[in-house]
Structure 1
Amino acid sequence: MLARPYRSRFLFFAMASSALAGLGFGPACAQSADRAWGYNSYGIPGLIDMPVAGSREDAELGFNVFAFAGQTRVSAAFQITPRLSAGFRYSTIKNYMGGGTLYDRSFSIQYRFLDEGRFWPAMAFGINDMTGTGVYSGEYVVATKSISPKLRATAGIGWGRLGSNNGFDNPLGVLSDHFKTRGERTGAQGGTFQPQQWFTGDAALFAGVEWQATDRLRLMAEYSSDAYTREDGPTFDRKSPVNIAAQYKINDQASITAGYLYGTDFSVQLSYALNPKHNAHPSGLKDAPPPVVPRAGVEAAQSWTNDPAYLTAKLRPALAQQGLVLEGAKLSGSTLAIQIRNDRYNAPPEALGRAARVLSAQAPAMVDRFAITLSENSQPVSTTTIRRDDLEAYEFHPVGGELMRAHAQIDGAPPRLPVAPGTYPRFSWGVGPYLLPGLFDPDDPLRADLGVSVQAQYEIAPGLLLSGRVNQKVIGNLDQANRPSDSVLPHVRSDAWLYYKGSGPTIPELTGAYFFRPGRDLFGRVTAGYLEPMFAGVSTELLWAPEHSRLALGAELNRVRQRGYDQRFDLRDYEVTTGHLSAYYQFTDQFYTQLDVGRYLAGDWGATLSFSRVFDNGWKVGVYATKTDVSSEDFGEGSFDKGFMITIPLHWATGQPTKQRYSTVIQPIVRDGGARLGVANRLYGMVREDQPASFDGNWERFWR
């Protein structure tokens, strides 16, 4: 194949070089380009339409809305590690290839493999539309170099969609004939990996410059390698490969970008970024903790007894003032042991620190050690033993938190302590808002219901509790969804829209549960009732989770029946036995993986693999994929189940002490294959935070 004309890109490079020379910038004053200045129209680190080699700040979540010439892209990106980023987008293209409006979902990754040096640029490679329909399929290798602290230049080579403007023979063809031709995508349902296409076919060059004119204003120009082959003509008339844009930074999180693209139309992009690592209220808005009271300030030892009623009367009121519930207590020689339920503090070490200071003021002088057991659903999880002398010595020490952690002994919890009188039965309830989103319906990509939720829990005895929730919608449009399922599998999820047609109160959950400890390192659960909005039945679970191990193993078995569409007390005919064997592994303090193998709600067999980053403040961002024995054709659009998981702790936004969190799963499309039961209080999530492996990242909050 003969090389195509290069005039336009050479003209762009010449203009950019002349502009840099005219401004008098040189490489001697370079600043690292490892940190990208913004997001491109696809929601990945970039210029206008093209990528750059830099990465955003580690752990940043970026949200973008881009509109241009009959096209809209709504995207979310996450900087998984300092080098690896991923993005998901939902796009609409009007008059796509002369037809109607196309609704497309796509996923991208980028990895920066080279940091910028004095004489070389930062470099990265990326893959767009990894598992989508191929509309935005393209790969690239890109380099970015700082010319000055405020000016950067980018150049790269693209394939696929990014190799469609003035393309030339693939230079990778010298390695293998495989790279010379880009074959057709396989599978009609989309949603599958197509690695045989990556970095194949014609390639093309792209380039750009960006100038940080002021602290708030960034100017950009680029030469695009995307010819918009499918959109040119029906959607808009592409006239030039050169794009220009200006970005205005509204504040540290938000910005707006306006551009003139492809010699045709103006574009606008709204961007918002936040970082889970950065608390809006780092120190919180809660009351100050009580001081440590030296032994000389407490009452004589002879006034104390080991009577449970006496210990409860002495300790319960003071612990309650700190938001901690006393469940058990025992005085044994020079050790005072208590079991507490932490309903307030997101960081367990903060609960430990406050409990220890309460004990310093209450325990007699003869007590040398405090053994504080944290419990979940009245089941002891871990015990932290603290020497009283250390508590007094390190309260105001410059590195008192580190010293307390070094001297504290954290182990698996012993058997339950004697129950504090008056602890059971225990009733609690609350009222609050609920948000139920429904995303990516082609008729309306953004639907949601907002309403009021009343929750109640009645704990009859240790580990035995009744709980329920009643929702009443106030406003929303989920009931307007009207796309009948075409699934050939049992409709265990694809009829979800039918569950939101009613206007009266619903009962998403009404259960009885029993939590127990069948042995050392073992945790158990049995739950029965209306387990979730769509299924009722019995769920059982057993978890092996040693306190100092990164590995945990679990097993779950459920027998369930489909609920009526009104989410009240009716049941439908469909029944199924479902369950999984699970392995959980903690790679580092923040990165976790989970593998579930078993049978799903539609009766299919397979496995789910998930990866999550869990932050010390309670944020969680993860991704999962499920593959079962259901073929891509039988599964339908999307080929297999996949999605993203986000958990946001409310204290992060409000600064108020609370363990409440908002969690949601974002699925590109909801089908029946690979659907798992949604039962509350699964054991690993319940136990993990109170185990020693999770304490270190938050131990500085011991003195808060």
Structure 2
Amino acid sequence: MSTRALGATASRLALALSIPLATQLCVPRIAAAQDGNLAWGYNSYGIPGVIDMPAAHSREDAELGFNIVNFAGQTRVSAAFQITPRLSAGFRYSSIQNYNGGDTLFDRSFSYQYRFLDERRLVPAMAVGVNDMLGTGVYAGEYVVASKTLTKRLRATAGIGWGRLGSFGSFENPLGALSDSFKTRPKADVGKGGTFHPDQWFHGPAALFAGVEWQATDKLRLMAEYSSDDYTRENGPTFTKKSPFNFAASYQINQTAAVTAGYLYGSALSLQLSFAINPKHNAHPSGLDPAPPPVVPRPVGGGKAAQSWSGDPSTLENALKPALAQQGLALEAMRIEGRRLAIQIRNDRYGAAPEAIGRAARVLSATAPVSVDRFAITLSEHSMPVSTTELKRDDLEAFEFHPVGGELIRANAAIDDAAGRLPPVGGVYPRFSWNIGPYLRPAIFDPDQPVRADLGAKLTANYEPLPGLLFTGQVTQKALGNLDQANRPSDSVLPHVRSDAWLYYKESGPQIPQLTAAYFFRPGRDLYGRFTIGYLEPMFAGVSAELLWSPQNSRLALGAEVNRVRQRGYDQRFDLRDYEVTTGHLSAYYQLNDNFFTELDVGRYLAGDYGATLSFSRVFDNGWKVGVYATKTNVSSAEFGEGSFDKGFRISVPLGWVSGKPTRESYSTVIQPIVRDGGARLYVPDRLYGLVHDDQASTLDGNWERFWR
């Protein structure tokens, strides 16, 4: 078992064991009261608010909040993300017993809030929001709200709401003065849900709501509010609403978790648990990385006086291999020409590539001949060279202990495309690695059972006989879980490319989710290529080819991918079903700024439909990624079915953030409100943009401060 395999296994185990500790250490600074000041909270909908009503404050930038609340036959589970300091978004999954006198309703909905005015000495904070923007309309409502801190421990909130938030104590819409169309609220034909109805927003009767919060102690916050929500369809069948007033007490368990108990609408007790983490704050700020080796300076004047080195390259190679391996780096290729030493390395350990470059440079300072005064360090992925960073040896020796040494190193360094291969060193190929560890396969938002999951063991093996040629296989064995209890036959009128996923969970025994052969290559400068064949993912097998154009210092990258695939048997072994399809996309990737990315994919999907997927992601220097996507194809809402179109969230958590130990492993998941067949894209391992972007110049500059770590 390789060092990387052992590290991956340990990291996965650490994910399961260390999350409670990590989240205690990863402190969202405004989640709790600070220095006796008021704490900000989430309301029962999982958005910034008082008890059931919204408020005008925002959470800390980048905070991820998770909430669960139960009262009077209603349960809401929600997640919220503070996308920017002013913009927040939330997703909730709710169950309402006897909704409108019928059965239990399971509902999914989205909310957005934008704070357009900051609080000042005489001015309140103000925000505007839309609830249930893409849902069935059960929680549809809009609002404008203001919050003002009156004293160090007292805050007041007041607002005006429409839709559901304008259903109690209603009056004529003041926006009717602008246009008569605002006076009435059109009835929305929500159909299968998942559609926009901007013609409803801020239309119809309006109502006022208000709230007050008092920070009794540093941990205890008391709240009271007047609600403008009449709970029209729940009042009676679900619970009896006797009063518009709500009262609650929130206790801050620690700096990441709070519990809130309340008495709502004069008849119902409520209980809410809130939990928050922030990707911007490292769980282990100092990290648990082993100490780097020191820079070894040359004798004074030795470098300039020395002649070009003419020794045996194998001697230098034999010295570099173990020294780099000790730093979690593998030497793949090397060339020494005059006073320049060039190496190609595989980074097996560090999530931030500049850390790998910095450690490799220090190893070179101790092993390179004194005549060498320039180091060229090439980063590779699957033996495919990506970028080359050229450094001056004198700079390493001069700036190791300089207060801004990293910045000075970068100012004098050159980062360029690594076109062309260096001569491979001996003994690298063939190489084989494997690891075994746990896997978690969740399935959420099934209308019959909101949360299902399987837990088991996964064995992964990689074999690379030649540079760029990679064979990969995975075998899984379920240990426990309830995914096999799903029994909701698909009603899709499209080919069942995803909606029969529940059938793939029914089979027992070992499964093979992936078994592929892939070749990675560089067709030319700024170009990357991939060809993959085999069992590409749990549901499809076939061939996939991809070409990516991605210049080193460009915000824009362009890609093209084509696949010919056939559906796999439900046992995820070697059987194939009859359905075949050609699918592929043209992709544009654009880096909006250092942390925000967007991607547009246009092409043909697995069900044979044509359309586009638009994605937005926020990527943090420590490896966290949080994103949202939406897909619209030529499949109508009626043909698509429940949800109207495909959409969801993507989250990727670096395991090093949890454990504090350097690793390139991460845990990624996609959260979809509903899994249907329209807009379904093939899952292909190691798509090129995600593979190479972290090693390119624009990303290296983003976290260059880790060069000296």
Q: Corresponding residue for 1:377?
A: 382
Partner Cα distance (1:150, 1:209) in 2: 11
Of 75, 98, 111, the match for 1:72 = 75
Q: Does 1:321 align with 2:326?
A: yes
* Cα offset, 1:414, TM superposition: 3.2
What residue is the counterpart of 1:209 in the other structure?
A: 212
Contact 1:219/1:246 (<8 A) preserved: yes
Distance, in Å, in 1 between the alignment partners of 2:353 and 2:670 is 26
Which of 86, 95, 99 is 1:96 aligned to?
99
Match of 1:360 among 342, 361, 365: 365
Secondary structure of the structure 2 residue equivalent to 1:695: helix
1:224 aligns with 2:227: yes
Q: Secondary structure at the match of 2:299?
A: helix
Tell me, in whole angstroms, the C-alpha distance in 2 between the residues paired with 1:430 and 1:599: 35
Note if 1:147 corresponds to 2:150.
Answer: yes
The CA deviation at 1:392 is 1.1
Counterpart residue number, 1:390? 395
Is contact 1:32–1:117 with CA below 8 Å preserved after alignment? no
> Is the Cα–Cα contact under 8 Å of residues 245 and 258 in structure 1 kept in the other structure?
yes
Aligned equivalents of 1:122, 1:33: Cα separation in 2: 20
CA distance in 1, matches of 2:313, 2:674: 55
Q: Tell me the TM-score normalised to structure 1 length.
A: 0.94
Query: 1:328: how far off?
Result: 0.4
Extract unaligned runs of 5+ from structure 2: 1-33
* Alpha carbons 2:48, 2:57 under 8 Å: kept: yes
CA displacement 1:580-609 (0-9 Å, x = unmatched): 000000000000000000000000000000
In 2: Cα distance, 1:213 partner to 1:403 partner: 51
- The separation in 2 between residues aligned to 1:413 and 1:478, in whole angstroms, is 46
Deviation (angstroms), 1:307:
4.9
Residue 394 of structure 1: CA displacement?
Answer: 1.1
- Report the Cα distance in structure 2 between the residues aligned to 1:48 and 1:531, rounded to whole angstroms: 47
Letter in 2 for 1:331: I
Q: What is the deviation of 1:310? A: 3.1
Partner of 1:24: none
Q: Deviations over 1:173-200 (max 9, x none)?
A: 1111111111111241111111111000
Aligned to 1:9: none
Q: Percent identity?
A: 75
Contact 2:528 2:547 in 1 (8 A): yes
| Secondary structure, aligned partner of 1:296 | coil
* Further displaced range: 60-69 or 179-188: 179-188
Equivalent position amino acid for 1:518 in 2: P
Partner of 2:251: 248
CA distance in 1, matches of 2:186, 2:64: 34
Q: Secondary structure at the match of 1:195?
A: coil
For residues 612 and 36 of structure 1, the distance between their equivalents in structure 2, rounded to whole angstroms, comes to: 28
Q: By how many angstroms is 1:69 displaced?
A: 0.4
Query: 1:40 and 2:43 equivalent?
Result: yes
Structure 1 position 461, deviation (Å): 0.6
Three-state SS of the structure 2 residue aligned to 1:295 is coil
Paired with 2:36 and 2:421, the residues of 1 have a C-alpha distance of 56
Q: Are the equivalent residues in 2 in contact too, given 1:32–1:116 (CA < 8 A)?
A: no
Structure 1 counterpart of 2:548: 543
1:186 maps to which residue? 189
- How many angstroms apart in 2 are the aligned matches of 1:34 and 1:623? 34
| SS of 2:428 mapped into structure 1 | coil
Give the superposition deviation at 1:549: 0.3
| Cα contact 1:308–1:418 (8 A) shared by 2 | no
The structure with higher relative contact order (CA 8 Å, sep 6+) is 2
Aligned CA distance change for structure 1 residues 465 and 308 (closer, same or farther; 3 Å): farther
User: Does the CA-based 8 Å contact 1:33-1:121 persist in structure 2?
Assistant: no
Instruction: Kindly provide the amino acid, as one letter, of the partner of residue 122 in structure 1.
Output: A
- Aligned residue number for residue 177 of structure 1: 180
Q: 1:45 to 1:456 in 2, by over 3 A?
A: same
CA contact under 8 A between 2:626 and 2:650: conserved in structure 1? yes
Question: How far off its partner does 1:398 sit?
Answer: 1.2
**1:302 shift after superposition:** 7.6
Decide whether the 8 Å contact of 1:34 with 1:122 is kept in 2: no
Asked if residue 579 in structure 1 is aligned to residue 584 in structure 2, the reply is yes
For 2:232 and 2:183, the matched residues in 1 are separated by: 20
Distance 1:307 1:105 in 2: 67
Contact between 1:36 and 1:56, CA under 8 Å: does it hold in 2?
A: no
* Equivalent residue number for residue 195 of structure 1: 198
- Residues 452 and 304 (structure 1 numbering): CA distance in 2 closer, same or farther, change over 3 Å? farther
Question: Is residue 2:161 matched to residue 1:162?
Answer: no
Specify the SS of the correspondent of 2:89. Answer: strand
Does the Cα contact within 8 Å between 2:307 and 2:371 map onto a contact in 1? no
CA contact 1:352–1:372 (8 Å) conserved in 2: yes
2:562 corresponds, among 557, 564, 579, to 557
Q: Please give the alpha-carbon distance, in whole angstroms, between the structure 2 residues aligned to 1:533 and 1:581.
A: 24
Asked if 2 retains the 8 angstrom alpha-carbon contact of 1:192 and 1:639, the reply is: yes
Moved more, 408-417 or 686-695: 408-417
For the residues of structure 1 that align with 2:375 and 2:218, how far apart are their CA atoms?
53
1:274 aligns with 2:277: yes
CA distance in 2, matches of 1:673, 1:446: 23
In the alignment, does 2:418 pair up with 1:405? no
Are 2:657 and 1:641 aligned?
no
Query: Per the alignment, do residues 608 and 291 of structure 1 end up closer, same or farther by CA in structure 2, a change over 3 Å counting?
Result: same
The answer on whether the counterparts of 1:158 and 1:225 sit within 8 Å (CA) in structure 2 is yes
| Amino acid paired to 2:100 | M
Give the AA of the match of 1:586: Q
Flag the 1:531–1:330 CA change in 2: closer, same or farther, 3 A. Answer: same
- Shifted more, 115-124 versus 65-74: the winner is 115-124
Whole-angstrom distance in 2 between the partners of 1:179 and 1:691: 51
Aligned length: 674
Q: Which residue of 2 aligns with 1:456?
A: 461
CA separation in 2, counterparts of 1:227 and 1:617? 45
Q: In structure 2, give the amino acid aligned to 1:134.
A: G
1:34 positional shift? 13
* Residues in 1 aligned to 2:512 and 2:36: alpha-carbon distance in whole angstroms: 53
CA distance in 2, matches of 1:324, 1:123: 51
Matches of 2:290 and 2:513 in 1, distance apart? 35
- Provide the C-alpha distance between the structure 2 equivalents of 1:35 and 1:695, rounded to a whole number of angstroms: 39
Tell me which residue corresponds to 2:117: 114
For 1:192, the aligned partner's letter is T
What is the TM-score when the length of structure 2 is the normalising length?
0.93
